[in-house]
């Protein structure tokens, strides 16, 4: 009787998720214009600030002396060193040299010559002495936020959630992930910006609904339509204008101010004056969010300044034509999602420019309802990311269920067409599993790995995901090779399978997206089938396993009979062959217990023969050797 | 067939549930992958109601509920859930006739 382990009852989730609990996890909004970091403290998400506030301008300056500045200092340097100061690096994430070429006319940056099939664009900075990738530039920004967070939390970060626009493709997402890693952070998940905003408003706690997220930032406008179902947000459609934002408002106001000063719209080519007027325009616009009238002061030259009044109504008239450009993308996004504005459950405002009363009125008119805007629109995305990070880190908000899980179990095909599951259905991602396998036949020099998905016990009833081979293994006796197979599902649901033969170090791996081409109905059907066929499947599995064992023993016996016929006693061959025939018959049947019994019977019938073979083999290895040598060999002394 | 739960096990579940902060909706038992020999047993509280497909074993006028998913049920059918106290430790154990072998630690099983 084998020992029975005694089990204790575990808390929900602990038994299935062996991921270590994480303590310090933050959310980062890596924006085109500004970036922020937030953390959940005592159940409340808060943005972490430095002396100048929560917003860190997403600007990086690489000086000729090799120093790197990030944030406000870098933005100031932009005036004197525009080519060495990368602003809005986000536009270049995951982009190739050809894409950069297209924007060459629009940006002051210099790009390094791409070395043939170079996949990423490289900026030439620090006076042309250094090349950096967009990932490296983003990593500089992330590093500053990391330092800020670690100072505030008093220790190393365990993980981060970084937000990305909903329309980012795989390459852009991977680039963002790489930037996080370069900055020395563990990116637990990338979260869509509109989803983060919805989380910050706690919309995930609603039963269901459709939401529009209106994100008017400094330099970009994004509109996303989200559908909430069962605590999970799905992006239905996206739209926007990558060259429309608060900066355009500032430019419109600045042009007006210059006209008032009697100067041409390009400030007569005076870059410093142009910058000064733009800053004044921004300050006035921000002031007029609250006040009805403001006084604008611009320094024309040292000791000489211009001053004049500006009313909110004037600014609104200037901004209006720019704002109107948002209407087109909004209508298109609604149409793509197949929705009328009245069908939406809510509209969320994101981005600093949405603070302006005129923007709020415009959105209210466009959607026919008052938008949600009581959370600071600059911070809302970072706050949502922090909530998600806290959740992933096991922050214990048991009122929110927003977890991605493996929809169907993932496993490997074993001998006999049996499925061996490595990762079970409903395991929360990211997750992983390792299992060691061995060779079935003597001198097997490779493994065919067949990755399958599904709940059924037999491979034939599961979905095939991928096949790959691990070859080049030297011939060994069956069972001697040790193949370690590792399954990892990352937060984005990508499955990586790697196999390594431990004796030889041979490796092979593959990556697949298990959810590819798999609809909800399909998942539902596969799960239902597994319940309906649970009994049959168990039987089929047991039978398949016994058949594999039967084949193994039949082959071994056949080989032994051929090799050592001289060792057979009279009548023994007949007995063994009768056992083999009986096993063959049982094997063809469907009763796994009969197969098991026949295996045992054949084992019994051939036991003496096997023992004699063993003695002979042993005798051969020690023949002609002195007794003490043999003793040494056997005892290993 | 069915799954049996011994009186000792029922009493132990009830006692453990009483000690918990949140009264559990039930005890989820089942079979999961992992462990050194292929499968391992699952014992955890469920704060959610039983899923529609679950088999629910109810005792003590519904005060003690044990949830088993249908897949695990196929493997556990015919077994008895018992609670044992030894000199060394006490805990739950499965008396499972379907088990082909257990590993040294007894925490994982093969069918």
- Please spell the DSSP secondary structure of A197-228, one letter per residue: HHHHTTGGGSSEEEEEEEEE-SS-EEEEEEEE
pLDDT band at A524 (very low <50, low <70, confident <90, very high): confident
Q: What is the DSSP letter of A518?
A: -
Structure token pair of residue A355 = 């603070």
Taking only Cα atoms into account, the Rg of chain A, rounded to an integer number of angstroms, comes to: 34
Range with the largest mean pLDDT of A248-252, A379-383, A569-573 = A379-383
| pLDDT at site A17 | 36
Coil, helix or strand for A154? coil
pLDDT band at A348 (very low <50, low <70, confident <90, very high): very high
Structure token pair of residue A235 = 């992006």
Please indicate whether, in this complex, the C-beta atoms of A15 and B111 are within 8 angstroms of each other. Answer: no
Report which of A154, A67, A163, A69 is spatially closest to residue A380, judged by C-alpha positions: A163
Mean pLDDT value across residues A603-621: 82
Please indicate whether, in this complex, the C-beta atoms of B47 and A537 are within 8 angstroms of each other. Answer: no
Mean pLDDT value across residues A467-494: 82
Q: Which domains does chain A have, with CATH numbers?
A: 25-200+378-398 (3.30.420.40), 202-244+326-374 (3.30.420.40), 246-324 (3.90.640.10), 410-518 (2.60.34.10), 536-622 (1.20.1270.10)
Please indicate whether, in this complex, the C-beta atoms of A4 and B27 are within 8 angstroms of each other. Answer: no
In A, which residues are within 8 Å of B25 by CB distance?
Answer: none
| pLDDT at site B56 | 92
CB contacts < 8 A (A, B): 88
For tokens 């170090």, the residue is A505
pLDDT band at B100 (very low <50, low <70, confident <90, very high): low
| pLDDT tens-place string over residues B53-78 | 889 999 988 889 999 988 788 878 88
| pLDDT at site A479 | 78
A388: which residues sit within 8 A by CB, 6+ positions away?
A: A27, A161, A189, A191, A196, A199, A402
Which residues of A form the catalytic set?
Answer: 29, 90, 193, 215
Q: What percent of chain A has pLDDT over 70?
A: 88
Give the lowest-confidence range in A36-45, A96-105, A420-429, A435-444.
A96-105
A477-508 per-residue burial string, b: 16 or more CB within 10 A, e: under 16: eeeebebebebbbbbbbbbebbbbbeeeebeb
Higher pLDDT, A386 or A477: A386
Instruction: Write down the mean pLDDT value for chain A.
Output: 83
Which of B17, B34, B96 should one mutate to test binding to chain A, selecting the residue with the greatest count of A CBs within 10 A? Answer: B34
Please indicate whether, in this complex, the C-beta atoms of B33 and A13 are within 8 angstroms of each other. Answer: no
- Is A1 in the B-facing interface, judged by CB distances under 8 Å? no
A613: which residues sit within 8 A by CB, 6+ positions away?
A: A560, A564, A567
For tokens 């000063």, the residue is A261
Beta bridge pairs of residue A9? none
| Interaxial angle between packed helices A534-563 and A592-605, expressed in degrees from 0 to 180 and rounded to the nearest 10 | 20
Largest CA distance in chain A: 121
pLDDT band at A253 (very low <50, low <70, confident <90, very high): very high
- Give the separation between CA A30 and CA A261, rounded to whole angstroms: 37
Omega before A430 within 30 of 0, i.e. cis: yes
ipTM of the shown complex: 0.74
Beta carbons of A207 and A231 less than 8 angstroms apart: no
| pLDDT at site B98 | 66
- Sign of torsion, CA A285 A287 A292 A295? negative
Residue B101 in this model has a pLDDT that exceeds 60: no
Q: How many CB atoms lie within 10 A of CB A594?
A: 17
- Give the separation between CA A632 and CA A577, rounded to whole angstroms: 40
Strands A25-30 and A34-41: antiparallel
Beta carbons of A459 and A412 less than 8 angstroms apart: no
| pLDDT at site A203 | 85
- Give the separation between CA A423 and CA A17, rounded to whole angstroms: 11
A610: which residues sit within 8 A by CB, 6+ positions away?
A: A560
Mean pLDDT value across residues A94-103: 68
Q: What percent of chain A has pLDDT over 90?
A: 26
Q: Which domains does chain B have, with CATH numbers?
A: 4-110 (2.60.300.12)
Nearest to A424 among B33, B46, B95 (CB): B33
pLDDT band at A91 (very low <50, low <70, confident <90, very high): confident
Nearest to B91 among A2, A8, A16 (CB): A8
**If residue A335 lies in a helix (H) or strand (E), which one and from where to where?**
helix A327-336
For A416, left (φ over 0), alpha (ψ -120 to 50), or beta?
A: left
| pLDDT at site A103 | 58
Please indicate whether, in this complex, the C-beta atoms of B111 and A535 are within 8 angstroms of each other. Answer: no
**If residue A117 lies in a helix (H) or strand (E), which one and from where to where?**
none
Nearest to B71 among A3, A11, A455 (CB): A455
| pLDDT at site A447 | 84
| pLDDT tens-place string over residues A285-324 | 988 988 899 899 888 877 888 888 999 999 999 999 999 9
pLDDT band at A433 (very low <50, low <70, confident <90, very high): confident
Higher pLDDT, A117 or A445: A445
- Is A399 in the B-facing interface, judged by CB distances under 8 Å? no
Task: Specify the long-range contacts of residues A523-531, CB closer than 8 Å, at least 24 apart.
Answer: A523/A407, A523/A408, A526/A408, A526/A454, A526/A455, A526/A456, A526/A463, A527/A408, A527/A425, A527/A455, A529/A455, A529/A456, A529/A461, A530/A454, A530/A455, A530/A456, A530/B71, A531/B53, A531/B70, A531/B71
| pLDDT at site A631 | 63
For tokens 């041979």, the residue is A506
Nearest to A10 among B44, B71, B74 (CB): B44
Mean pLDDT value across residues A420-428: 80
Please indicate whether, in this complex, the C-beta atoms of A3 and B91 are within 8 angstroms of each other. Answer: no
Structure token pair of residue B104 = 């040294």
Q: Is this structure's pTM higher than 0.95?
A: no
pLDDT band at A572 (very low <50, low <70, confident <90, very high): confident
| pLDDT at site A533 | 80
Mean pLDDT value across residues A64-72: 92
List the alpha helices (DSSP H) in A564-626.
Answer: 572-588, 592-605, 607-622
In B, which residues are within 8 Å of A6 by CB distance?
Answer: 84, 86, 89-93
Largest CA distance in chain B: 40
Coil, helix or strand for A36? strand
In A, which residues are within 8 Å of B71 by CB distance?
Answer: 455, 530-531, 534
The 3-state DSSP composition of chain A as helix, strand, coil percent (nearest 5) reads 40, 25, 35
CA distances from A114 to A97, A102, A131 (A): 7, 14, 11
Please indicate whether, in this complex, the C-beta atoms of B106 and A3 are within 8 angstroms of each other. Answer: yes
Coil, helix or strand for B102? strand
**If residue A234 lies in a helix (H) or strand (E), which one and from where to where?**
strand A232-241
Residue A15 in this model has a pLDDT that exceeds 60: no
| pLDDT tens-place string over residues A119-172 | 678 888 988 888 899 999 999 999 999 999 988 887 888 889 999 988 888 778
Mean pLDDT value across residues A196-218: 88
Residue A400 in this model has a pLDDT that exceeds 50: no
| pLDDT at site A395 | 54
pLDDT band at B34 (very low <50, low <70, confident <90, very high): very low
Half-sphere exposure of A480 (CA within 13 A, CB side): 13
| pLDDT at site B2 | 84
Higher pLDDT, A295 or A478: A295
Nearest residue of A to residue B85, measured between CA atoms: A6
- Give the separation between CA A349 and CA A354, rounded to whole angstroms: 6
- Sign of torsion, CA A106 A222 A360 A201? negative
Nearest to A7 among B41, B45, B95 (CB): B41
Report which of A43, A399, A203, A528 is spatially closest to residue B47, judged by C-alpha positions: A399
Half-sphere exposure of B99 (CA within 13 A, CB side): 24
| pLDDT at site A506 | 85
Q: How far is A558 from chain B (nearest CA, A)?
A: 27
pLDDT band at A501 (very low <50, low <70, confident <90, very high): confident
Q: How far from chain centre, in Å, is Cα A198?
A: 19
């Amino acid at each position: 009787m084998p020992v029975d382990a005694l089990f204790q009852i575990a808390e929900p989730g602990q038994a299935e998720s062996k991921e270590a609990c994480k303590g310090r996890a933050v959310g980062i909004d890596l924006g085109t214009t500004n970036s922020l970091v937030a953390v959940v403290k005592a159940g409340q998400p808060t943005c972490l600030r430095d002396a100048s506030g929560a917003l860190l301008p997403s600007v990086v300056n690489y000086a000729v002396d090799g120093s790197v500045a990030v944030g406000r200092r870098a933005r100031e340097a932009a005036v004197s060193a525009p080519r060495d100061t990368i602003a809005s690096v986000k536009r270049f994430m995951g982009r190739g040299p050809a894409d950069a070429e297209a924007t060459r006319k629009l940006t002051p940056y210099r790009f390094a010559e791409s070395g043939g099939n170079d996949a990423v664009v490289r900026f030439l900075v620090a006076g042309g002495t250094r090349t950096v990738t967009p990932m490296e530039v983003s990593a500089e920004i992330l590093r500053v936020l990391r330092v800020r967070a670690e100072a505030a939390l008093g220790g190393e970060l365990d993980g981060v959630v970084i937000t990305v626009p909903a329309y980012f493709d795989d390459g852009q997402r991977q680039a963002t992930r790489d930037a996080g890693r370069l900055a020395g952070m563990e990116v637990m998940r990338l979260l869509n910006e509109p989803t983060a905003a919805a989380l910050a408003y706690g919309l995930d706690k609603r039963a269901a609904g459709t939401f529009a997220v209106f994100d008017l930032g400094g330099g970009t406008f994004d509109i996303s339509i989200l559908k909430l179902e069962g605590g999970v947000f799905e992006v239905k459609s996206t739209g926007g204008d990558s060259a429309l934002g608060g900066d355009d408002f500032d430019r419109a106001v600045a042009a007006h101010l210059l006209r008032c000063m009697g100067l041409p719209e390009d400030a007569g080519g005076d870059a410093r004056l142009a910058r000064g007027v733009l800053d004044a325009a921004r300050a006035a616009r921000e002031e007029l969010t609250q006040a009805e009238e403001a006084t604008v002061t611009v320094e024309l030259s040292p000791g000489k300044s211009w001053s004049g009044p500006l009313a909110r109504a004037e600014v609104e008239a200037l901004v209006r034509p720019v704002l109107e450009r948002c209407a087109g993308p909004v209508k298109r996004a609604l149409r793509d999602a197949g929705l009328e504005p009245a069908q939406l459950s809510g509209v969320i405002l994101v981005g600093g420019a949405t603070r302006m009363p005129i923007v709020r009125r415009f959105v209210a008119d466009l959607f026919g309802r008052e938008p949600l805007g009581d959370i600071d629109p600059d911070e809302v995305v970072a706050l949502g990311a922090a909530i998600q990070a806290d959740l992933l880190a096991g922050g214990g908000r048991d009122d929110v269920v927003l977890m991605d899980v493996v929809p169907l179990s993932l496993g490997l095909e074993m001998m006999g067409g049996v499925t061996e599951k490595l990762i079970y259905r409903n395991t929360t991602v990211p997750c992983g599993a390792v299992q060691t396998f061995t060779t079935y036949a003597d001198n097997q020099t490779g493994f065919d790995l067949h990755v399958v998905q599904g709940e059924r016990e037999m491979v034939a009833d599961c979905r095939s995901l991928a096949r790959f081979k691990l070859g080049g293994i030297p011939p060994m006796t069956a069972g001697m090779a040790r193949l370690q197979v590792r399954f990892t599902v990352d937060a984005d649901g990508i499955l990586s399978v790697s196999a390594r033969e431990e004796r030889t170090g041979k490796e092979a791996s593959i990556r697949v997206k298990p959810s590819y081409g798999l609809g909800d109905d399909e998942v539902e059907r596969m799960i239902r089938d597994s319940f309906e066929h649970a009994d049959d499947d168990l039987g089929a599995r047991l039978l398949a396993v016994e058949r594999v064992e039967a084949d193994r023993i039949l082959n071994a016996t056949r080989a032994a009979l051929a090799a050592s016929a001289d060792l057979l006693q009279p009548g023994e061959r007949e007995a063994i062959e009768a056992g083999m025939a009986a096993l063959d018959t049982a094997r063809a049947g469907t009763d796994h217990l009969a197969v098991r019994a026949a295996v045992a019977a054949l084992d019994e019938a051939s036991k003496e023969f096997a023992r004699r073979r063993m003695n002979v083999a042993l005798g051969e290895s020690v023949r002609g050797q002195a007794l003490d040598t043999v003793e040494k060999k056997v005892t290993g002394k | 067939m069915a799954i049996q739960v011994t009186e000792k096990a029922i009493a132990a579940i009830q006692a453990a549930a009483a000690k918990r902060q949140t009264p559990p909706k039930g005890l989820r038992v089942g079979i999961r992958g992992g462990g050194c020999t292929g499968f391992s047993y699952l014992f955890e509280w469920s704060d959610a109601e039983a899923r529609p497909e679950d088999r629910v074993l109810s005792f003590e006028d519904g005060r003690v509920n044990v949830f088993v998913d249908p897949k695990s049920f196929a493997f556990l059918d015919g077994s008895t859930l018992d609670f044992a106290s030894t000199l060394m430790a006490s805990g739950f154990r499965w008396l499972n006739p379907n088990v082909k072998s257990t590993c040294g630690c007894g925490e994982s099983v093969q069918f």
